[in-house]
Structure 1
Amino acid sequence: MNTPDVTVVRACLRGGAGGSPTAVVLEDGTGAPTPDDERRLVPAVHGTSHAVYVRRTGDVSELRFFTAQGELPACGHGTVAALAVLAARHGATGPYRAVLRAGGRVFSGRAERSGPLVSAAFDPGPVDLREPGAQERALVLAALGLPAASAAAGVRIAGVGRERVLVPVATRAALAALRPDLDRLRAACDRFGLLGAYVHSRPSPQGVLAARMFAPSIGVAEDIANANSTACLAAHLAGRGVRRIRVDMGDALGSPATVTATAGADLQVEVGGTARVLTERAGRRLR
């Protein structure tokens, strides 16, 4: 089996560097789609955690997201990466706007090129927020190595496409010190159908904070950047008067990344980041 041509994008850069390497495949809308079992191999072959397949039908670009474990209903940094490639292929020097379809919904995205960089943002959809159940809270906090009382008051379950748990810690230092038991975390997330645990420091008055996303249930021990979870946090913090956030991620993995999100008065969120489109890699043999 062979992969199609792949473009690797570093999504959600910080200061023009770092970011999350993401494989982007633009499919021919008239040809047969790649079988799903082959799509799952692409991230490992190209050294990325995720792959996004883009298939244009008329004016709509359909996105499908894969890790080695299988398909995801949504992927925020994958959407940023796809927008960057679409904008680069479009060749527009001004703002580029796209209509996207993923996870059964149609939504808008935008991108703008500035030299080698592309700033991209999109509407992740409505964010559902709820209080965790006692077992959800206890098992996830235990797997993260956090005392049950340390973060209990601020723990929330949030979803855009799939639920995940938001867990606050007091400082960036406490965040950096986390050493979760990934087997226990996977078991807890699998039990409750959660995507993973997004652990974040408390925001500064300017809305600046740091976060780490642990998602062993989808085959990603730790995500360099997670835009949809950042969108969830933006919706949560908007209820506390924080409307704009800038979240640093990836430091523990040696690839600094930053995701930004804004929540409007109606809690509609826009999330995004800056990306760099790297050289395309020709298709290669998978097996």
Structure 2
Amino acid sequence: MRHDTASVILVRACLRGNAGGSPTAVVLEDAPLTDDQRREVPAAQGTSHAVFVRLPGDGPIDLRFFTSAGELPACGHGTIAALAALAGGRRRFETTLRTGDRVFEGWCEPNGRSSEAAFDPGPVKHREPDAAERSLVSAALGFEPELRVAGIGRERVLASVPDRATLAALTPDMDRLRDACDRSGLLGVYVYSRPSVEGSLAARMFAPSIGVPEDIANANSTACLAAYLGTAISVDMGDSLGSPATITATGRGGEVRAGGRSLIEAEFPLHAFPFHGKESGKP
């Protein structure tokens, strides 16, 4: 997809059917922005996350991810949204992406304004939580679930509940959860229901430490769970926020993939954005 000026593309990532999804701002940069300016974009556009894409002359496409609280080392649904924005009218789009020092592959198959995208989130590391992590997270959730710590870039807690009804009724203490995550440097807590035989389940991701009390869709945490379970899963998220989303992931044979369906909603030039920080160099 060619853009002659820097653009902001609003993408609903990880749709369920043709509805819902996580609104994500994809910024195609052709002029440097300050990090303070990047932090302004999600709140101003009504999204939890924004992904900033730098198109090089050759080599991998660089991605950076921001919430209003600051930069993230990785963002799964942001990667899916970026692939949808980059694909344009191609029948199938394959590219090499880079976030920080990690280089990986992404794919996208457009169908008009919607598309199916997937990517390689990288190796997943798992460990048992220590006693302090277990105690603090359980206290914040209000019960003692089965816990596992998993990491793609940054560690997060995977917490199991018996069924979707238990998940829907969950009301964590956000102040205590933020404190628990801050103490251990955790991204957040991904609570999931027991999967069906077919691999269908539901999940909720709580991440107050990064300025996202609850995430509509979290593809990297879903990939962490697929790697832990060693199977393919389809995860429903976002229902508690009124924006149903679905993420697919597989963790078979040590190969992890995550993906989802997206819809491009709108596009406008970056210079139309009312930055409050240092000027970006746009007219």
**TM-score per shorter chain, which class?**
over 0.9
2:112 and 2:9 map into 1 onto residues whose CA distance is 18
Judge conservation of contact 2:43–2:68 (CA < 8 Å) in 1: yes
User: Is residue 2:108 matched to residue 1:111?
Assistant: yes
In structure 2, the partner of 1:63 is 63
Matches within 5 A, 1:141-152: 141-146=138-143, 148=144, 151=145
The answer as to whether partners of 2:7 and 2:29 remain within 8 angstroms in 1 is no
Deviation at 1:104, TM superposition (A): 1.4
User: Residue 45 of structure 1 contacts residue 286 of structure 1 at CA under 8 Å; is this kept in 2?
Assistant: no
Structure 1 stretch displaced more, 275-284 or 156-165: 275-284
What displacement does 1:134 show?
1.2
- Aligned residue number for residue 208 of structure 1: 200
* 1:11 matches 2:9: no
Identity of aligned residues (%): 63
Q: Which residue of 1 aligns with 2:274?
A: 285
Shift of 1:115: 2.9
Q: After the TM superposition, which parts of structure 1 deviate over 3 Å for at least 4 consecutive aligned residues? A: none
In structure 2, runs of 5+ residues without a counterpart are: 1-5, 277-283
**Deviation digits for residues 48-91 of structure 1 (CA, Å, limit 9, x no counterpart):** 00000000121411000000000000000000000000001xx2
TM-score of the pair, normalised by structure 2: 0.93
- Report the number of matched residues: 268
The normalised TM-score by structure 1 is 0.91
In 2, distance between residues paired with 1:268 and 1:190? Answer: 30
1:124 equivalenced with 2:121 (yes/no): yes
Matched with 1:245 is: 233
- 1:81-126 Cα shifts (integer Å, max 9, x gaps): 00000001xx212x21010000311000000012331100000000
Matches within 5 A, 1:106-255: 106-146=103-143, 148=144, 151=145, 154-238=146-230, 243-255=231-243
- Counterpart contact for 2:232–2:252, Cα < 8 Å: no
Report the 3-state secondary structure (helix = DSSP H, G, I; strand = E; otherwise coil) of the residue aligned with 1:40. helix
Cα distance in structure 1, aligned partners of 2:123 and 2:51 = 22
Q: Does the residue aligned with 1:155 lie in a helix, a strand or coil?
A: strand
User: Could you tell me which residue of structure 2 aligns to residue 275 of structure 1?
Assistant: 262
SS across alignment from 1:175: helix
Q: Distance in 1 between matches of 2:122 and 2:141?
A: 28
Q: Secondary structure at the match of 1:136?
A: helix
Mapped to 2, the partners of 1:9 and 1:177 lie a distance apart of 29
Q: CA deviation at 1:281?
A: 3.0
Q: Which amino acid aligns with 1:246?
A: S
Q: Distance in 1 between matches of 2:85 and 2:26?
A: 8
Shift of 1:235: 0.5
Distance apart, 1:222 and its partner CA: 0.2
Query: How many Å apart are 1:284 and its aligned residue?
Result: 2.1
- 1:5 and 1:82 map into 2 onto residues whose CA distance is 12
Give how far 1:279 is off: 1.3
Equivalent in the alignment of 2:3? none
